[in-house]
Amino acid sequence: MPNLAIKGGRPVRGELLPYGRQMVDDGDIDAVVEVLRSEWLTTGPNIENFENAFAQRVGAKYAVAVSSGTAALHSAIFAAGIKPGDEVVVPAMTFAASANCVRYQGGTVVFVDVNPHTLNIDPACVEAAITSRTRAIITVDYTGQPSDLDEINTIAEQNNLMVIEDGSHALGASYRGRTVGYLTDMTTFSLHPVKHITTGEGGVISTDDPELANSMMIFRNHGITSEHRQRETGRSWFYEMEHLGYNYRLTDFQCALGNSQLKKLDSNLARRQKIAAMYQNAFNVLREVEPLNMLPDRMSAWHLFVVQLNLELLSVNRTQIYQALRAENIGVNVHYIPVPWHPYYRKLGYKKGQWPIAEAAYERILTLPMFPSMSDEDIDDVILAVEKVVDAYRN
């Protein structure tokens, strides 16, 4: 095996391969430019067009477009009626925004542990965390594989809770033959450039419930109810702000981009599946590197490709493997630091050690590059670099 780049050897590739990257083509650019030349920059006809197309793609009755995936989560928490004193169950292994949205409305986050093989929220831990103050469950489809939605919905029904699915990783995923987007009370998506489709920044909430959809549409527009304006025909300037909402609107040109991107979602998903299959084939014979378990009754949207390192078989830790792969110009990453470990949550009183599975997983997870414009050569570079580094550090 050639010398590791971290020790002065030649890197597997000359340029850094990022872990994720957007795909924007001329059609996308034309769609945006057309709106920039039109009458409407913000709320115009493209908002509803995009919302309708999105709702149809994920199989939901309604979709509400907002300014980010975080705004989508906040809007959902508002619509769920979360207020100070209410508890919301959230997995410890996720991006901070999945929990922060609860705090925005003054609710209490109850972090729970995950399944060791999928790193998705563990329904048994959800059940154990429920108290008389619990109002909602936020489930995250980690890396794009849907969580145990039937089990979670059953627990929610038995305890009269709302279920918000953070589907930021899972646009286009399916669970027991049904698309992610209408399988819980509300599903949130992110349109950040590393996600499946992008509007620069952006987010969407899908739901089958007209009241929740209406509530989120009011929330994204300062909490202003437009019905009043329509009723008061003699005073067309009149409106009322009924709730403390935000300006979470998405612009019209962003929605034009979203619409154009949505048309390429299926080819994007197919490419991600192909990349995942190539990685799985290569790592099935490498005992030091374990891809996450993919369950047969659901299909991942493959936002991320995460492996767990078998540290007992290696002479170094995850940080050293990470640094060695970075030196080979492979843009590996780590998703995620357990959310309650962050200083903000530590100051609120959360203490390490309460989520043993998520915390142990954090020490051995590594995210490999995964984006649809990766070439077969890029994929080979990743596999070659992982083999090179693992060979050098095998016990």
Ligand X SMILES: *Cc1c(COP(=O)(O)O)cnc(C)c1O
Residues involved in catalysis: 195
- Please report how close the Cβ of residue 22 comes to ligand X at its closest, in angstroms: 13
- Please report how close the Cβ of residue 83 comes to ligand X at its closest, in angstroms: 22
Q: Does 300 bind ligand X (CB under 6 A)?
A: no
Q: Does 261 bind ligand X (CB under 6 A)?
A: no
| Residue in 63, 60, 64, 109 with CA at minimum distance from that of residue 82 | 109
Q: Is 263 helix (H, G, I), strand (E, B) or coil?
A: coil
Per this entry, what is the length of the chain? 395
Site string for ligand X, 90-119 (x = CB under 6 A): ----xx-xx---------------------
- Please report how close the Cβ of residue 209 comes to ligand X at its closest, in angstroms: 21
- Residue 290, strand partner residues: 308
Q: In this chain, which residue has its C-beta nearest to ligand X?
A: 69
Separation CA 9–CA 328 (nearest Å): 9
- Please report how close the Cβ of residue 198 comes to ligand X at its closest, in angstroms: 9
**140 vs 324, which CB is nearer to ligand X?**
140
Q: Does 190 bind ligand X (CB under 6 A)?
A: yes
- Please report how close the Cβ of residue 212 comes to ligand X at its closest, in angstroms: 19
**Residues within window 39-68 making contact with ligand X, judged by CB under 6 A:** 68
Q: Does 140 bind ligand X (CB under 6 A)?
A: yes
**Residue 345 · residue 352 · CB < 8 Å:** no
Characterize the bridge pairing of strands 162-166 and 186-190: parallel
CA distances from 6 to 2, 190, 263, 327, 385 (A): 12, 35, 42, 5, 12
**93 vs 286, which CB is nearer to ligand X?**
93
**Residues within window 166-185 making contact with ligand X, judged by CB under 6 A:** 166, 168-169
Q: Phi/psi at 367 (nearest 5 deg)?
A: -100, 125
- Please report how close the Cβ of residue 68 comes to ligand X at its closest, in angstroms: 4
**57 vs 303, which CB is nearer to ligand X?**
303
**70 vs 184, which CB is nearer to ligand X?**
70
**13 vs 169, which CB is nearer to ligand X?**
169
Phi-psi domain of 119 (left: phi exceeds 0; alpha: psi -120 through 50; beta: other): left
Characterize the bridge pairing of strands 240-241 and 203-207: unpaired
DSSP 5: G
| Residue in 70, 116, 111 with CA at minimum distance from that of residue 91 | 111
**70 vs 118, which CB is nearer to ligand X?**
70
Separation CA 195–CA 262 (nearest Å): 12
What are the residues whose beta carbons fall under 8 Å from the beta carbon of 339, sequence distance 6 or more?
90, 92, 93, 94, 95, 96, 98, 99, 111, 345
- Residue 109, strand partner residues: 88
**Residues within window 193-212 making contact with ligand X, judged by CB under 6 A:** 203
Q: Does 305 bind ligand X (CB under 6 A)?
A: no
Q: Interface with ligand X by CB under 6 A: which residues? A: 68-70, 94-95, 97-98, 140, 166, 168-169, 190, 192, 203
